Amino acid sequence: MPVVDTHMTQKDLLQVEPPFIVQGSFAMVRVLELPPGDPGIAPHRHSGPVFGYMLEGEMLFELEGQAPYPIKAGEAFWEPGGEVIHYTAANLLADRTSRFVVVMLCAPGVEMITFVDDEELAAKESARIPTQRA
């Protein structure tokens, strides 16, 4: 086989040890677009781990147990799924759409996204970590 000369480069963006992946899980790849200033979807959980890459724009990202933080174009992120609440994925830009791609590992027989009810949100409100501003 001939050697191919390439100018490909690589940059490692994220290295994590994901939680156990249930046998029979399947992967789903999705591109998401947040219109300017969009607050994102309501608090929810994912049935398995989610790995993402910000294509353009900037979003505010908040998981249970973490302070909200911005993710900018060119940065990667992940969440473990399972019982962890995903509170926020909001577009921080008022004048531009933000886009990101996610790879979600879906547990068999469980919806990929389950919304968190108001009762649980109220019960956990005091444990949320406020945004850290510079």
Confidence check: pLDDT of 58 > 70? yes
Kindly report the number of other CB atoms within 10 A of residue 123's CB atom: 10
Return all residues near 110 (Cβ < 8 A) that are at least 6 apart: 47
Q: Averaged over 68-89, what is the pLDDT? A: 95
Kindly report the number of other CB atoms within 10 A of residue 102's CB atom: 18
Query: Which residue type does 94 have?
Result: A
Secondary structure of residue 3 in the 3-state scheme: coil
Q: Averaged over 47-55, what is the pLDDT? A: 95
Return all residues near 42 (Cβ < 8 A) that are at least 6 apart: 115, 116
Q: What is the pLDDT of residue 76?
A: 97
| Burial tier of 39 (Cβ tally within 10 Å: 0-12, 13-18, 19+) | exposed
Q: What is the pLDDT of residue 68?
A: 95
Q: What is the pLDDT of residue 6?
A: 81
Q: How do residues 12-37 score in pLDDT, each as one tens digit? A: 888 888 777 888 999 999 999 999 99
Grade residue 126 by pLDDT with cuts at 50, 70 and 90. confident
pTM for this entry:
0.84
**Spatial separation of the C-alpha atoms in residues 120 and 115, rounded to whole Å:** 11
